[in-house]
Every structure is written in structure tokens, then in C-alpha cells.
A = this chain, B = another copy of it.
């Protein structure tokens, strides 16, 4: 049985723990925060509720051990997943502690959303062992993970990382070059800034933006992405023709690209008030349960489709329920 060490809980670390456990791995969990175990339990409850609805034929759940000492958690682990707070000195110190106690052949992966692997490796005794494996919340349900090596990461670690991520039901994207925030968060951040402008200027409310996404382009992007959507929109004239038409738009002053909105108290209050109105009294855990139920339904639906959108999930060798 393979063993993973989860270093740092929270939403992301606990999600990783749940995903590995449900895929039959032994999990050695370490987080010194007093509330960490409770958060882990909540993630596990959700994962046990939802993951079997998407996948038949899951292996027997692996054993879970809560470890007080980091050194005990990483001992004997094939994979170590670091999910500590997004501060470089913290991550570097934790990675040093991990590498002081783990096997040199283990994959040491960081969940960092912002830092480049070369930054994490800067002070490392064995940089070749470190890779970024950046997942998306909820980790137990969303398959995507960005796997980012630096030039110092060894080819063997890269190959093992990709293979193991597939083995636990994920779709790893092997990112070819390291940049701050990798790929997905940069895309989301660009849209997020524009959304802040629209709200600051009173053009849209949080509910209107969400409606336009959930009843419009979000439905496109859930199953065709950006480029394949545009390929279809371009029609038989082809991608080249479509892109040539798009060129002039890039110089139109549509988005406030040269400035960054100040997220001051006024803008924060406006967003909070609109978001409260939108939630209409539903608690965060109620919204979270809705999200998970919807994601399960979408994943099952896309799997069952006889299209490329269904191909990947079926390729994992687990049958649709």
C-alpha cells in the first residue's frame, strides 16, 4: 500500500487527504493547528458522501493516521503534499523539515497557488525532489491539477508525479514553464479584476455576474474550454480566420487593463452586501453542499456523454455509476 504524508490541513490539505484515502492510500496527516483535525473530518465526510456517486469501483479506503510530529508523518511516505500558508519563508522552512526526514526518492509536492518551484527550491538540499502540484477546490472532486517542475526538478520525479496523480483520479497538466501563479489562477485573476471594476463602477452586481456565468459562458467553459469554444464559434472558416478577426478587438478599450481597482472598504462593503443578498440566507455549508451536488451531477453527466468531454473521465478506468 502506498503512503502519502499530508503536511498542512485546511481546505486544500484536507481535500488532498480525502482524495488519497478514497483512492486506497495510507494517509499520514500532520497539522499543528488545534482545529485541523475537525476540518479534516468535515472534508472526509463530504468526500465520502460525494465521490462514490461519481465513481464506481473505488478501492477500499486507506488507513488514516494523525501525526503530532512532522518527521513521523513523512517517514516512509511515497508522496509528501505540502499545503501550508502562502508565505514563501513558511513553505521553505516546512520543505526543509520535510526533506530532513523523508526518503530521497519520495515526490515532495507543494500545493502553492502562487510560488514557482524554483522559489521553493532556492534553499533546498535536494531541489530535484520538489515539484508543484497545484489542485483546485474541492480537491476531492475536481480532477485538474497543475504539475509544475523547475529546471532543477529531476525527470524521474516529474514522471512519477504525473503517474501518481493519474492513479488517484486526477488530470495532471504538465506545465512547461514556471511563472508566478501557474496557469489557471492567472486566468481567473484576470477575470476577477475585471469583475471588481464592474462592481466598483456600478455596472453589475455580484448576482448579475454570477447569472451571466451560470446561465451563459460558464456552461460553455465547463465542457469546451476557451479555445475549443472559439474554434466552434469561428465555424467552417477556421481558427485562423477567427483569430484574424479578433486582432483589432485587442486594442479596444474594453477592459481596464492599465489599472488595478483599489479593494478599499467601500468596494469590500458593496461586494459583501451584494453577496449577502445573493445568498438569501443560505449558509456557507448549504452553498457548499449545493456546489458538491451540482459538481457530482455535472461530472456524471459529462462522463456519460459520448463526446470528448466524457472521454477523459472514462479513460481513468472507473465505470460510471
**What is the interface of chain A, defined by CB distance below 8 A to chain B?**
11, 114, 136-137, 142-144, 146, 171, 173, 175-177, 179-181, 183-196, 198, 201-229, 231-236, 238-240, 243-244, 246-247, 249-255, 257-261, 263, 268, 271-272, 274-276, 278-279, 282, 284-285, 287-288, 290-291, 293-295, 297-302, 304-309, 312
Contacts and interface: CB of A to CB of B under 8 A. Distances in A.
A267 to B, nearest CB: 8
A176 B202 contact: yes
A75 B211 CA distance: 34
A175 B209 contact: no
Given A221-B214, A224-B210, A298-B222, A293 B272 contact: no
Q: Is the interface of A mostly helix, strand, loop or mixed?
A: helix
Given A209-B183, A291-B224, A302-B294, A215 B176 contact: no
B218 A284 contact: no
B177 A202 contact: yes
Contacts of A260: 250-251, 257
A225 B213 contact: yes
Contacts of A291: 220, 223-224, 229, 232
A204 B287 CA distance: 32
Most central of A193, A216, A259 by chain B CB within 10 Å = A216
Most central of A186, A192, A255 by chain B CB within 10 Å = A255
B190 A298 contact: no
A297 B290 contact: no
Contacts of A229: 291
A186 B255 contact: yes
Contacts of A299: 219
Nearest to A250: B260
B239 A272 contact: yes
B223 A209 contact: no
A287 to B, nearest CB: 5
A307 B279 contact: no
A261 B250 contact: yes
A10 to B, nearest CB: 9
Contacts of A210: 224-228
A62 B159 CA distance: 59
A223 B284 contact: no
